[in-house]
Amino acid sequence: MLSLIPFLEELEHGNQMVILPSAEVERLVGRFGPRVRSMGVWNKTSDGSVEISISNIAEAVKTLDNQALAEAVAQLKSSGQFAEVLSESSAAGRLIEAIASLQETQFVQKVERYQASADSVEVERLRYEISRELFGQ
Amino acid sequence: MPVIEWKALPRQVQDHLLDRLRVRGITAQDLGVLLAWINADPQVPEGAWCKDFGSLKVVGEGISQNVPKQRTALLWSEDLNPALGRRRNQHPPDAIDGKGREAGRP
């Protein structure tokens, strides 16, 4: 059995993603605002899903205590149809913000690496990734 | 209010943005702000409009009021179209001129 840190390292190195389907994305946007789409790569020109890095989720969860995490899960699961719009200060809102902030920081770092790299293979890979995040497939 | 149709963005415009980015004609921070704005799936004014992100601008013009979901946006940096460009940081980043002109300019 893996302990926590090796488990998180495995997640990070494996670069595994969670796919949030379009309908779920729009439901969450309706409840928590457009920051939901910034939690990962929004496939705006294809199926409207959002790809979220599992390592970012794990990192963001660490910013919440157990009580707040339980609240966040309950808020994320609740139906948006009759529920009130929850603010950024809600537990789920804080979790979404934490994931989105990580994603944005990594995007800026990726752009800086694209600008600085002298490795043509890496430049092409980063160019593709930046283009995909900005404009879709 | 219309939204931007990113599928309609010409490939050459995308390539130009990425080329300018590579030579630091556009800053990483400004591009991060652009991405956050894109992810908000913003509604844009009718007619010509412009949004300033500092080292780049997004300008667009509506296709038809009858097709509110279709809207083409073009990305410009100041060197690409100096006639449209304005001095950097002259206006706050959220300034949108619904007439596609610099605020205060006839």
Q: Supply the range of the domain harboring residue A76.
A: 4-102
**A41-42 β-sheet, strand order:** A17-20, A50-53, A41-42
Instruction: Please indicate, yes or no, if residue A124 is contained in any of the structural domains.
Output: no
Instruction: Please indicate, yes or no, if residue A112 is contained in any of the structural domains.
Output: no
Euclidean distance between the first and final Cα of chain A, in Å?
38
Say what the pLDDT of residue A14 is: 65
Q: Chain A closest CA to B5's CA: distance in Å?
A: 8
Of A99, A56, A42, residue with least CA distance to A76: A99
Q: If pLDDT is split at 50, 70 and 90, which confidence band does B98 have?
A: very low
pLDDT digit string (tens) for chain A, length 137 residues: 667 777 777 766 667 889 999 999 998 998 888 999 999 999 988 999 999 998 899 889 888 888 888 888 888 887 654 445 556 668 888 999 999 999 999 999 999 999 999 999 999 999 999 999 998 87
Q: Are the beta carbons of A72 and A94 closer than 8 angstroms? A: yes
| B15-67 per-position pLDDT tens digit | 888 998 999 888 999 999 999 999 998 887 777 788 888 888 887 776 544 43
Instruction: Please indicate, yes or no, if residue A67 is contained in any of the structural domains.
Output: yes
Residue in chain A closest to B32 (alpha carbons) equals A108
| Cα angle A108-A110-A116, degrees, rounded to a multiple of 5 | 105
Of B17, B34, B39, Cβ closest to residue A38: B39
Instruction: Please indicate, yes or no, if residue A75 is contained in any of the structural domains.
Output: yes
Q: Are the beta carbons of B38 and B14 closer than 8 angstroms? A: no
Cβ neighbours, 10 Å, residue B54: 15
Instruction: Please indicate, yes or no, if residue A116 is contained in any of the structural domains.
Output: no
Task: Collect all residues of chain B within an 8 Å Cβ-Cβ radius of residue A35.
Answer: 39
Angle between helices A120-135 and B28-39 (to 10 degrees): 30
- Mutation to test the A interface, candidates B20, B24, B35, B74, most A Cβ within 10 Å: B35
Say what the pLDDT of residue A122 is: 97
How many structural domains does chain A have? 1
